[in-house]
Chains A and B, each alone.
Chain A
Amino acid sequence: MNESNPLGTAILFHLGPLALTSTVLTTWGVMLILWLASRLVMRGLHLQPGPWQTAAEGIIETISAVIGELLTPQQARQVLPFVATLWIYLVLANLVGLIPGLHSPTADLSATSALALLVFLSVHWFGIRANGLRAYLRHYLTPTPLLLPFHLISEITRTVALAVRLFGNIMSLEMAALLILWVAGLLAPVPILMLHIVEALVQAYIFGMLALIYIAGGLQSQQLRQQKEAP
C-alpha cells in the first residue's frame, strides 16, 4: 500500500513482476463471494427446488432466454458461460463501490479494458469456432473489400468504447458521491448512491448486452452470407 493513482486505485503490494492493486483484490473478493454462493446454493440441488435454487435457476433461465432470442439453442449453450459471467460479475463489481472503503473494480480502466479485450477476443473465438477461420475473416470483406478498414476501425473503437463507457460511468458515480460527501456531509450522497444502484445495474446490462450482440454478430455473419448464396 505504498503507491496510489489519483483515482484511488492503490497498489497494495508486488507479487514478483505483478503489482497487486485494490482492483485485483476486490475482484478476488467478488470471485470468492460468487464461488462460495455457488457452492452454497448448489450443495443441495433437487428437482423440487428450494428458494435459493429457484432464484439461481431464475437467473440462468432469464439469461438463457435473452441469449436465446439472438442465437440458436446450441450457440446459446456455448455462449452462456461467458455472457452470464459478464452480467453476474459486473452487477456485483459495480455494486461493490457502495460499500464504504471499497472501490468498484469497474471504476478502474485496467479492469474494464481487460473485460473489453475478452469480449473482443470472444467475438472472434466464437465466430471462428462456428464458421471457420477463412469464412469468418471473409465477412470483413463483405459487402465490399473497400469496407475492410471501417470494419477494423469498428472492431477497435467498439472495444475501446466498451471499456471507457463502463469505466467512465462507474468512476464518475463514485467520484460524484465522494465529492458530495466532502462538500455536503454524511447523508447527502444517499440519492447519488441510490442512483449508483440503478446505474450499476444498467451499465452491467449494457455491457453484457453489447458483448452478446457483438458475439451474435460474429456468429451470424457467416450464416447470413450462406443464406444469401443459397438458391
Chain B
Amino acid sequence: MELDWSTFALEVVNFLILIWLLKRFFYQPVLNVIEQRRGQIREELSQASREQAEADQLKSRYEARLSDWETERQAARAALEQELVQERGKRLRQLDDELDRQRLKHAARDLQQQTQWRRQAETEALQLGAAFAGRLLSTLAGPELDRRLRQLFIDQLTTLPESALKQLHQGRLDEAQRIEVVSALPLDESQQQAIRQALEQRIGPSQGQWQFRQDAQLIAGLRISIGGWLLHANLQDELRFFSEAAHAE
C-alpha cells in the first residue's frame, strides 16, 4: 500500500479526460434531448392550454347560442301555437258558416222536395179522386142528372156578365156558320130547341149551322163551342177543371 506518483498523476489526467469525454459525448447530447423534449412538452402543454381556452370559449359561445336558440324556439313555438289557435278559430267559424249554409240549403231542398212530393201526391190524389169520381158519376149518371145539368147551363147563361156575352156575340158573328153542341146523351128536338132558345136569348139570333152530336165521355151534361169559345156544363169538363185547378194551385 504505497502511493505511486505516476499512477496518481495518470489517474488525475485520466479522470479529467473521462469527464471531458462523457460531457462531450454523453451528458450534453442527453441533456439536450431531454431539454428538447421538455420544450416540446411545454409547447404541447401550452398548445393544449390554448386549445382548452379556445374550446372553453367555443363551449361558452355555443352554450349561449343554444340558449338563444332555445329562447327563439320557445318564442316561435308560442307564436305558432297562437297562430294555430287563430287559424283553428277561423276554420271553425268558416266551417260553422258552411254548415249553416249547407243546413239552410238542405232545409230549402227538403222543403222544396216535400212541397213537390205533396203537390205530386195531391195531383195523384186529385187524379185518383177525379178518376174515382168519374167512374162513380158514370155509374150514377142518367137522364135526370143530364137534364139537371142542361138546366143548370141554361140558368148560368142568365148570370153571364155583359163582357162575356159581348165576346160570345162577337165569336158567333165570326163563326156564325157553325155552333157545335156536344151532349152526353142524345138530345131530342125539344131539348135541342130549348138550348137554341136559351143561347139566342143571350147572344142574339144565329143564322149559322147548328150541329148536335153525342159524346158519352162527357158522362152527363153538354158542351157548346161557339167560334173560339167553349160553354160547358158536363161532368167530364168539370172533373177535368177540378183536377187542373187543384193542380194549378
Contact = CB atoms under 8 A, between A and B. Distances in A.
Interface of A: 5-7, 9, 11, 17-21, 23-24, 27-28, 31, 34-35, 38-39, 41-42, 45-47, 49, 53, 56-57, 60-61, 77, 80-82, 84-85, 88-89, 105, 108-111, 113-115, 117-118, 167, 171
A115 B29 CA distance: 25
B4 A19 contact: yes
A111 B7 contact: yes
B11 A35 contact: no
Contacts of A115: 11, 15
B66 to A, nearest CB: 41
Contacts of A167: 1
Given A39-B25, A47-B33, A47-B36, A89 B15 contact: yes
B11 A23 contact: yes
Contacts of A118: 12, 15-16
Contacts of B166: none
Interface in B1-32: 1-12, 14-19, 21-23, 25-27, 29-31
Nearest first, the 10 A-B pairs at minimum CB distance are A114-B11, A110-B7, A38-B26, A81-B23, A38-B25, A19-B6, A110-B8, A18-B6, A110-B4, A114-B12
DSSP majority for the A interface?
helix
Contacts of A24: 6-7, 10-11, 14
Contact of A42 (B4, B14, B17, B29): B29
A57 B33 CA distance: 9
Contact of A60 (B7, B18, B34, B37): B34
A118 B33 CA distance: 29
A115 B9 CA distance: 10
B11 A34 contact: no
A42 B6 contact: no
Interface in B74-99: none
A82 B5 CA distance: 22
A89 B22 CA distance: 10
Nearest to B7: A110
A42 B25 CA distance: 7
Contacts of A5: 1-2, 4
Given A34-B18, A110-B5, 8 more contacts: A5-B4, A7-B1, A21-B4, A47-B40, A81-B19, A85-B18, A110-B11, A171-B1
Contacts of B2: 5, 109
Nearest to B14: A27
Contacts of B26: 34, 38, 41-42, 56, 60
